C-alpha cells in the first residue's frame, strides 16, 4: 500500500455514527474519482485500491443483475488480499434505456450516439455495491439502487461538444450528472443523485452501520 492511496477527508468524521468502524480499515475498490469524492463525505480515512478486473458478465443477465454481478466479481477478486480489519466496498453502475444496457463508450462516436439516444428520454441509472467484511470474508453483502433520470432534447452539436470537452469514456451512458449535462440536460431526477454519480450513499451508510 502506498501513502498516495490513502485518503484523509476534510469532512467532519461520521465515526460517532458508525462506532463499529473504530479500528477498521476501509477500502474503496475503485479508481473512480467520483466514488472517492462520495465516500469522502463520511469523513473517514480510507484506502483507494483500484482493481484490475475484466468487467465481463453473462449476456443472460438483465437490469440490476448486471451491476450486482460486476460488483461481486470485483469484490471476489480482491478478497484474497483482505485481512480481518479490512472492509472492502466495490461498485458498478449501468444505464438502462428501454431495456437496453448502456455501459462505458469505447469511442467518441459511440459516446455521442449514447447521449443522443438519451435525448428527450427517461432512463434508469442502476448502481450496485458489494461489501466484504474481513472478519467474515465469505459473506458478500450486495445491494443496488435505481434512479430515474429525464433528459431535455439535445442537439448533436451539444453532444459532440460535451464528449470533446468532458471525455466521458469512464462513465456508464457516456455522461456525468455532476458536469455540463447535469446542469443543462437533466430536467427531472427521481431517486438519489449520488446513485447517479456512482455510489448510493444512503444504502452504503446503512450497510456499514449494520456491520458487527
Average pLDDT, the chain: 95
Q: What are the pLDDT digits (tens) for 70-94?
A: 999 999 999 999 999 999 999 999 9
Q: Indicate which residue of 52, 86, 92, 170 is catalytic.
A: 92
| 3-class DSSP state of 128 | strand
> What distance in Å separates the CA atoms of residue 44 and residue 19, rounded to the nearest whole number?
11
> What distance in Å separates the CA atoms of residue 194 and residue 166, rounded to the nearest whole number?
19
| 3-class DSSP state of 14 | coil
In the prediction, which pLDDT does 2 show?
47
Say if residue 34's pLDDT is above 80: yes
Instruction: For domain 3-209, say whether CATH 3.90.950.10 is its number.
Output: yes
Pairing of strands 100-102, 122-133: unpaired
Determine whether 100 is an active site residue.
no
Amino acid at each position: 500500500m502506498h501513502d498516495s492511496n490513502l485518503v484523509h477527508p476534510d469532512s467532519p468524521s461520521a465515526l460517532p455514527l458508525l462506532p463499529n468502524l473504530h479500528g477498521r480499515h476501509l477500502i474503496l475498490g475503485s479508481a473512480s474519482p467520483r466514488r472517492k469524492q462520495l465516500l469522502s463525505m463520511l469523513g473517514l480515512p480510507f484506502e483507494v485500491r483500484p482493481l484490475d478486473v475484466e468487467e465481463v458478465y453473462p449476456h443472460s443477465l438483465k437490469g440490476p443483475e448486471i451491476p450486482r454481478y460486476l460488483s461481486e466479481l470485483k469484490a471476489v477478486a480482491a478478497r484474497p488480499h483482505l485481512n480481518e480489519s479490512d472492509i472492502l466496498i466495490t461498485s458498478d453502475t449501468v444505464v438502462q434505456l428501454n431495456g437496453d444496457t448502456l455501459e462505458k463508450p469505447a469511442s467518441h462516436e459511440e459516446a455521442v450516439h449514447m447521449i443522443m439516444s438519451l435525448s428527450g428520454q427517461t432512463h434508469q441509472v442502476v448502481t450496485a455495491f458489494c461489501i466484504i467484511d474481513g472478519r467474515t470474508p465469505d459473506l458478500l453483502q450486495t445491494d443496488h439502487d435505481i434512479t430515474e433520470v429525464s433528459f431535455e432534447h439535445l442537439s448533436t452539436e451539444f453532444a459532440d461538444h460535451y464528449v470533446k470537452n468532458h471525455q466521458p469514456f469512464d462513465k456508464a451512458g457516456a455522461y456525468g450528472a455532476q458536469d455540463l449535462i447535469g446542469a443543462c440536460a437533466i430536467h427531472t431526477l427521481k431517486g438519489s443523485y449520488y446513485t447517479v454519480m456512482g455510489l448510493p450513499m444512503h444504502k452504503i451508510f446503512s450497510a456499514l452501520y449494520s456491520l458487527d
